[in-house]
Structure 1
Amino acid sequence: MGNDYIEAARIFHEVTKHSYTSVRSSPHFLDWDIKPLPYKIYPGAASVALPRDLNLSSTPTLAALSSYVPADFSAPIDTPALTRILFCADGLTRHKRVGADDYHFRAAPSAGALYPIEIYVAASDVDVLENGLYHFSPADLRMTGLRRGDWRSYIAEAAAQRPSIRHASVVIALSAIYWRSEWKYRARAYRYCYWDAGTLLANLLAAAAAEEISAEVITAFEDPALEKLLGIDGEREGMIALVALGRSDQPATPSPQIEPLTLESIPLSAKDEVYQDRVKMHRESRLVTADEVAMVSAAKLESAPSESPPSANALHLETITSEESAGLGETILRRGSSRAFAQQAITAEELATILAASSVHPQADFPALTEIYLIVNAAEGLEPGAYYYNRDGRAFELLKAGNFRGEAGYLCLEQPLGMDCSALVVYMADLERALHALGNRGYGYAHLEAGILGGRAYLAAYSLGRGATGLTFYDDDTTKFFEPHAAGKSPLWMVALGIPRSRMKS
């Protein structure tokens, strides 16, 4: 029925909720024999090796997170800079062997370390790199050639003639291979794919800023046109977002005649399962015509009560200077996902710094949809309790005081991480407001923004020597905990912040 049929998103959200009962009444057993490959491989295609002497940026992470580079002041993009941006977004940072299995860890966090997001690169003005469409392979730091030519005009036409695309040096396209995440998380994986795209974008945008290269996220486009360009089916692998990188002095030329992409990729597993709830949700959120793209691009949100100025008793806390954070390259190589916290306090200044650095809305074509709530378990200088964080005013508003470690642990599916962390950050949104303005597309946008903000919180925390991990949750119970302030809002993602237990032992 299309993007305007918002009942599709309502139904999907309801059937994919977690509750105390649903988690226990619907057990899911992982079939390790069909676990999907973590990489998309084109065995018959030629590829280009990217530079391996990365020399990652030493720009303070907090500065990279808070920087915005206007397109007119963007530095040119050469191959080493492009490689650093791609590596920081999705590069292979380390691997670990556990029993008979190899675990490959990448630059950005991913739910279950399943990495469903693929990166395609349309290069048009990158020194020695031939103009063309490529697929980025994080496993071996190579780019597989898919199509020759300048594809900016084609992509811009599919995206309502977005000026940043027509003038970009590089356009990056992100897609999701849903089965990678569905293997573990079933239909709810659709949400997780947007989180994962968001954390990847958080890294990518910070890396671009560190290179003094402009970056704009674009999410309104004609899905079929881009699916045809990338050679994806739109159901098992679907579009998520575009990123216009840099500004080129070379005008976009008419794109070549598009032909079907005949390159075959290796099957991810012996078989995959199709979760119809996820398939329906994605179908009903695709934009098919130029008119649909124009309507979503021009949509305006109704104002929300929580966008008002902070209340009179709101706390404005001191923040740490950018220079006190580790360099971006060091942070990305250091980043992991904490598996246990020490029930120790971070400082209120550290928490305020993490939220201030991570909550700025990215340069993007979609509006700010996400609101931030948190449970503070232990932060020196801040009373334990439940808070609302005003993104615009950078202020903490106390909703209720008290020790809520038990509640925090329960809400994130009874995981000790929520109970033991210093603060549990909860990203929420009024989904009805988003759907009425943006259609079903707004559902993905809200989760994508939560992923970006949460991904930035990861980077900010690790740059200060702290830890972070992403968590899922009991949906309705989380809303109830933060009521009445959070009435009508839905949790999108949680990120726990604190001091990793292993660090305390070392």
Structure 2
Amino acid sequence: MTIRAYHETSKHRPERYAPGPGRLDWANQPDPWRSYAGAPQVALPLAADGLATRYNDVRRGSLPAPAPLDREHVGLLFELSLALSAWKEFGGSRWALRCNPSSGNLHPTEGYLIAPALPGVAAGVYHYLSRKHVLEQRAQAGDDWDAAFRGPAVLVALSSIHWREAWKYGMRAYRYCQHDCGHAIAAVSLAAAALGWSARVLDAVGDDDIARLAGLDREADFGTAEREAPDVLMLLGAAQVTVDVDALVALSGHCTWQGAANRLSTSHVDWHDIDAVHAAAHKPRITAEVVPATPALPPPAQPALELVVATLVRQRRSAVAFDGVTGMSADAFFAMLDTLLPRPGVPPWSAWATRPQVHLALFVHRVTGLDAGLYVFLRDATALDELRAALREDWAWHKVGPPHLPLYLLIPYDLRAAAQHICCHQEIAADSCFALGMLGRFGLALREPWRYPALFRECGMIGQVLYLEAEAAGLRGTGIGCYFDDAMHTLLGLAGSEWQSLYHFTVGGPIEDVRLSSLPPYPVAGR
């Protein structure tokens, strides 16, 4: 089976890493900006500094009154999710950081707006160009377009350019593209919530629908440019609005399309395994899952820092090193995990269309009031018996923390060396307050292949929440894509392939690189 074969071949192992490029061909490093030559541009205002919504309110589900759907607030949506957050300089080199995290800062994720006529934005399809904070109008829609939107709403489509990641990471790049899509889903959901809008992934929509709506299937518009893989379609707006996707798909064929995609690299390395797994995981239209109502839960405790959303998302960084000294309190640790439980109307989980299929195995190192050791955190308490049966049978499974938090101690032990070894010998996994691996129900992907990328996307959403929670706690996080898959399974005593470790993460006290200069993301006046 293609999914199983790709997953096994793309695993890192202590004796050999997954197939990669061998060296970085700097002359062919992909252009970080996808743009469409000839597409008219709609400048978006930079208005995040005026948004008063606080992060703690959003994470507790206390959202502001819905903002108008217009050019200014669409601009805010992208400014707080997919836009630049800063420029960095060192030794004559200059590179951009963005609000949505990305493996290696390579940013394979592209965003598209599909909108009815809004104040300042004509009806049609737009590509978001983060470098300039503008919308590139890809399609001009006809008079029937607006009728497909049944209430005040817009659609946001996300896609991936696999080559951007494969240039550096080779075969494993497909995994990382899905992580980054998950980061972006959570970023868009949280930005929408800060504006008082609901956001949800339209899970019944197939890949072909997304490609048609965003113009990704238009051969003439891409030519020799790198193609984009459709990922997800999100509906944003008032809580109860709907959209007739069938009508929009049909009408997109009658739009006036414009703009030609730029080529990102002059030459490429073909990763046939990525092409094969992408084809195997192609998602048809499906019947959306009916997700059981989640139990009422108390809100998570307030983080240490009371920050507005705009400040938090723009200061988010990936740590490159931890000091190996900083700790955190057990209460702060519990609050951070608490935000990973789905609650009705609370982003980003209110945007996710399926029940949780990813749980956490945690290496606790420096959490005051909590034993160092190995823990399991269930994001769906009903998975306890199944996951317990899948792991080593002599684990303790001692319940700890607040009563509603499904957190279990497996063994009290100093596992810093084990965490570092599993994470490709990276010290950040041992020098942190805690590190973790995300256990996804891989068996779902073997039965329904389109669920394979969805599992990684769910992991990416968890990662984005942890990134923001770490910043709000006065710490810093970083996602870890390099880890020894089966070494993690062996440590847990995980047998079979129903569960697999799909992403790792760590949180701690960062060591700042004072050699780097930081510059604003956009010119203060003008562009």
Q: Does residue 271 in structure 1 map to residue 267 in structure 2?
A: yes
Mapped contact 2:66–2:196 kept (Cα < 8 A): yes
CA distance in 2 between partners of 1:183 and 1:251 (Å): 37
Mapped contact 1:19–1:475 kept (Cα < 8 A): yes
Q: Which residue of 1 aligns with 2:469?
A: 460
Residue 368 of structure 1 aligns to a residue whose secondary structure is coil
Deviations 1:129-182 (A, max 9, x none): 2111100011011000111227997998xxxxxxxx754511000000110011
Counterpart residue type for residue 112 of structure 2: Y
Match among 315, 320, 323 for residue 334 of structure 1:
315
Q: Does residue 325 in structure 1 map to residue 302 in structure 2?
A: no
Match among 65, 70, 87 for residue 95 of structure 1:
87
Counterparts of residues 256-335 of structure 1 (less than 5 Å)? 257-258=253-254, 261=257, 263-287=259-283, 292-295=284-287, 297-298=288-289, 320-321=301-302, 324-335=305-316
Counterpart residue type for residue 77 of structure 1: L
* Deviation of 1:359 (Å): 3.8
359-368 or 187-196, which moves further after superposition? 359-368
Q: Note closer, same or farther for the CA distance 1:68–1:200 as it changes in structure 2 (3 Å cut).
A: farther
* Deviation of 1:127 (Å): 2.4
Q: Which residue of 2 aligns with 1:449?
A: 458
Residue 15 of structure 2 aligns to a residue whose secondary structure is helix
Q: Which residue of 2 aligns with 1:423?
A: 434
Match among 133, 158, 178 for residue 174 of structure 1:
158
Mapped contact 1:126–1:169 kept (Cα < 8 A): no
CA distance in 1 between partners of 2:158 and 2:451 (Å): 17
Q: Which residue of 2 aligns with 1:197?
A: 181
CA distance in 1 between partners of 2:144 and 2:180 (Å): 26
* Deviation of 1:128 (Å): 2.6
CA distance in 1 between partners of 2:242 and 2:444 (Å): 41
Match among 405, 414, 425 for residue 425 of structure 2:
414
Mapped contact 2:305–2:474 kept (Cα < 8 A): no
Q: Does residue 146 in structure 1 map to residue 146 in structure 2?
A: no
Q: Note closer, same or farther for the CA distance 1:32–1:384 as it changes in structure 2 (3 Å cut).
A: same
Q: Note closer, same or farther for the CA distance 1:244–1:236 as it changes in structure 2 (3 Å cut).
A: same
Q: Does residue 353 in structure 1 map to residue 335 in structure 2?
A: yes
Q: Note closer, same or farther for the CA distance 1:56–1:482 as it changes in structure 2 (3 Å cut).
A: farther
Counterpart residue type for residue 333 of structure 1: R
Structure 2 length normalisation: TM-score?
A: 0.81
Measured on the aligned residues, the alpha-carbon RMSD in Å equals 3.2
Q: Note closer, same or farther for the CA distance 1:172–1:14 as it changes in structure 2 (3 Å cut).
A: same
* Deviation of 1:79 (Å): 2.1
Q: Does residue 10 in structure 1 map to residue 4 in structure 2?
A: yes
Mapped contact 1:124–1:152 kept (Cα < 8 A): no
- Unpaired stretches in structure 2, ≥5 consecutive residues: 219-225, 343-348, 381-403, 515-527
Counterparts of residues 47-58 of structure 1 (less than 5 Å)? 47-55=41-49, 57-58=51-52
CA distance in 1 between partners of 2:366 and 2:142 (Å): 53
Q: Note closer, same or farther for the CA distance 1:391–1:366 as it changes in structure 2 (3 Å cut).
A: closer
Residue 459 of structure 2 aligns to a residue whose secondary structure is helix
Structure 1 length normalisation: TM-score?
A: 0.84
* Deviation of 1:103 (Å): 1.3
- Identity score, percent: 26
- Unpaired stretches in structure 1, ≥5 consecutive residues: 1-6, 157-164, 302-306, 310-315
Counterpart residue type for residue 127 of structure 1: P
Counterpart residue type for residue 480 of structure 2: L
Q: Note closer, same or farther for the CA distance 1:249–1:114 as it changes in structure 2 (3 Å cut).
A: closer
Deviations 1:104-129 (A, max 9, x none): 10011100000000000011153232
Q: Does residue 237 in structure 1 map to residue 233 in structure 2?
A: no
Counterparts of residues 31-110 of structure 1 (less than 5 Å)? 31-55=25-49, 57-67=51-61, 74-110=66-102
